[in-house]
Amino acid sequence: MVAPIIAHGEEGLGGEVQKDARMVGIQRIRLEGVLPPPVSHYCDAVRAGDLLYLSGIVAMDANGRVVGKGDAARQAEQIFEYIGRVLAHVGADFSRITSVLIHLTNMDDRARINPVRIRHCGEHRPASTLVQVSALVHPDLLVEITATAYLGA
């Protein structure tokens, strides 16, 4: 299934996108039917030139249910699967990830999610920040990951 890339602007009456001339080169990506619906007003990723900024991704299914309740490794696996879908949509893979920001509700879960991260990123080690937060958008979520990728030559 190919999801549309939505450019910056407002949809007109006929469904066409009205582009703001100041925002040429910025694409807002929402992978409807490929990723779960957003829990707030945001898109899945924004491409600005050769950079791709992925919104914080959590392990929720299409019906808003948490995947891997109580299991940080399973949640991380689901998140990295979703990241892979966004990357594939723009013709990239995990080797293009330049940085990640990982939010954990329990720092002890670092040891549980690290093998998942290594499996997906392999030898391509992105710059990384790991933080513990008091809560995420749903009480059963343990992990949220934000990423940036370089899509240039």
Judged against a pLDDT cut of 70, whether residue 6 lies above it is answered with no
CATH fold label, 5-150: 60s Ribosomal Protein L30; Chain: A; (3.30.1330)
d(CA 79, CA 106): 17
Q: How confident is the model at residue 9 (pLDDT cuts 50, 70, 90)?
A: very low
For the chain, give the mean pLDDT: 88
pLDDT in tens, 55-88: 999 999 988 899 999 999 999 999 999 999 999 9
The whole-model pTM stands at 0.84
- Report phi then psi at 102, rounded to 5: -110, 125
pLDDT digits 0-9 by tens, 18-45: 455 455 689 999 999 899 888 888 899 9
Residue 36 contacts residue 61 (beta carbons within 8 Å):
yes
- Cβ–Cβ contacts within 10 Å for residue 87, how many? 21
Instruction: Evaluate whether 44 touches 38 at the Cβ level (below 8 Å).
Output: yes
C-beta separation of 11 from 18 below 8 A: yes
Q: What are the boundaries of each domain within the chain? A: 5-150
Count of C-beta atoms within a 10 Å radius of residue 102: 22
